[in-house]
Amino acid sequence: MGSEATSTRVALITGAAGGLGQELVRQFAAQGWQVALGYHRKEPVVQGAGLFTVPLDVSDHASVASAINVVMERCGRIDTLVNNAGVTADALSWQISEEDWDRVLAVNLKGTFLCAQAALRPMIRQRDGHIINIGSFSGRAGQRGQANYAAAKAGLIGLTESLAKEVGSRNVRVNAVLPGVLLTPMTAKLSETQLADYAAANALGRINSLSEVAEFIVFLATMQNVSGQVFQLDSRIARWT
């Protein structure tokens, strides 16, 4: 245990440099959490006590192991892992390259598994912990031009439920959150027409907000009796099939 180990709750957020990642960091920190900001290429700017950056390529086993070790050495524990890192490479299915298929699955599904696997070891020893996987409505209903992304996010739901059954007896919770379409760098390429179409697909006629999604996730991280659940946070309606 490192010299800076603390009893303060500790969260590791992957993809912390992204739009939702930054908002999660802000809101976890506002609630007094110590937050490790996992990043791959662009190191996020850290402002505030209790925040520190950790290089993390979620698709690489060695990088994941190193990041968890850094958090444990510095903080002595890990209470919540938010698997937020994600990428898209949209194209019609017959136009998706094998490279883009592999990359999207490696980050969105394999990366979630590798991070969860590494974080579960200290959480099981602690007999306490929470893993929150950021999914997508595409994983429920599919999406034209997103066969790779939808497949990865559908797999994430199965992964969430399987892990929850495996580690529930160790008092570790595993849940998934489908945040809906958010105004982030990932969606910046969408046109005004596409955004309007997404809003129209919602029963409330609007898309979600970063702050509301992050607020929900921070609250979920504190819940002790909820596991194996998939929380959809917008107002699109689809059958569970």
Catalytic status, residue 149? yes
Neighbours of 6 (CB within 10 A): 14
- Print pLDDT tens along the chain (241 aa): 344 445 689 999 999 999 999 999 999 999 999 999 999 988 888 878 899 999 999 999 999 999 999 999 999 999 999 999 999 998 999 999 999 999 999 999 999 999 999 999 999 999 999 999 999 998 988 888 899 999 999 999 999 999 999 999 999 999 999 998 887 777 777 778 888 888 898 999 988 899 999 999 999 999 999 999 999 999 889 876 4
Q: What is residue 240's predicted lDDT score, i.e. its pLDDT?
A: 62
Cα angle 61, 115, 58 (rounded to 5 degrees) comes to 55
Distance, C-alpha 146 to centroid of its chain: 18
Q: What is residue 7's predicted lDDT score, i.e. its pLDDT?
A: 67
Phi, psi for 42 (deg, rounded to 5):
-100, 115
Closest CA to 153 of 196, 111, 190: 111
Measured CA to CA, the distance from residue 223 to residue 170 in angstroms comes to 15
Neighbours of 60 (CB within 10 A): 16
Phi, psi for 70 (deg, rounded to 5):
-60, -45
pTM score of the predicted model: 0.93
Taking domain 10-183+210-232, whether its CATH number is 3.40.50.720 is answered by yes
For residue 108, what are the contacts with CB-CB under 8 A and spacing of at least 6? 85, 86, 87, 149, 152, 153, 156
Q: What letter would DSSP give residue 11?
A: E
Single out the catalytic residue among 149, 153, 159, 167.
149
Domain residue spans of the chain: 10-183+210-232
Q: What is residue 132's predicted lDDT score, i.e. its pLDDT?
A: 98
